[in-house]
Chains A and B, each alone.
Chain A
Amino acid sequence: GAVVSQHPSWVICKSGTSVKIECRSLDFQATTMFWYRQFPKQSLMLMATSNEGSKATYEQGVEKDKFLINHASLTLSTLTVTSAHPEDSSFYICSAHPLTPNGANEKLFFGSGTQLSVL
């Protein structure tokens, strides 16, 4: 089955540094990938939609300068948390679905997530 690889699985960084998280579709192409954030014991909240070759679409309340998204190829999207602070500590999950003529009927595949801890 289709696989989405997300790295790193966990990262610890100092306050003020930047952290990059990668999301790769291993055996399919994806023009669109999604980035979610999940706080402990809470649901997944969509942060942004990553579009290959164009700017990402951010959800209301998400700072685009804080969370930089790059989707340079059909198999890779990156999320960079810039100048990270303790309140950015969270679990980040990406998802993607295969590029097909009937894309609306394809299920999404999720990465395994990245736990970010900012000290």
Chain B
Amino acid sequence: AQTVTQSQPEMSVQEAETVTLSCTYDTSESDYYLFWYKQPPSRQMILVIRQEAYKQQNATENRFSVNFQKAAKSFSLKISDSQLGDAAMYFCAYRGSGAQKLVFGQGTRLTINP
């Protein structure tokens, strides 16, 4: 079974600085999708960024970018120019190519210090 591991329960960063959240996963599949979701205090799940495993280019969405290392099964999220509104729980998630369900990591609570 696929597993997703986030080894940082909590992270904090100064406003306007850059922070990187780590994620590793285990799978025997060659084709799959990886996601980062944000869960603010409202608990609404918000998609931050998505990466298709067959794409070598790292996905970017404005201030958010990933470092996808397929061989190492690593998928880290970099947040540049951190803003107070970025404070939330961040979940890394995996989805197989044939499956629709998501497997989530344990989450990382990100605090932004003003």
How far is it, in angstroms, between the C-alpha of A49 and the C-alpha of B100 when the chains are bound?
9
Picked from A45, A46, A110, the residue with its CB within 8 Å of the CB of B45 is A110
Contact yes or no, A103 B44, CB < 8 A: no
- Residues of A contacting B45 in the complex (Cβ-Cβ under 8 angstroms): 44, 93, 95, 110
Contact yes or no, A42 B106, CB < 8 A: yes
- Indicate the size class of the contact surface on chain A: 20 to 34
Contact yes or no, B44 A43, CB < 8 A: no
Interface residues of B in 83-114 (CB under 8 A from A): 91, 97-98, 100-107, 109
A/B interface sample: 28 pairs, CB < 8 A: A32-B100, A34-B101, A38-B43, A41-B109, A42-B107, A43-B104, A43-B105, A44-B102, A45-B104, A46-B102, A49-B101, A93-B43, A93-B45, A95-B45, A95-B102, A97-B100, A103-B100, A104-B100, A107-B35, A107-B47, A108-B47, A108-B100, A110-B45, A112-B42, A112-B43, A112-B44, A113-B43, A113-B44
By a beta-carbon cutoff of 8 Å, the part of chain A in contact with chain B is: 32, 34, 38, 41-46, 49, 91, 93, 95, 97, 103-105, 107-108, 110, 112-113
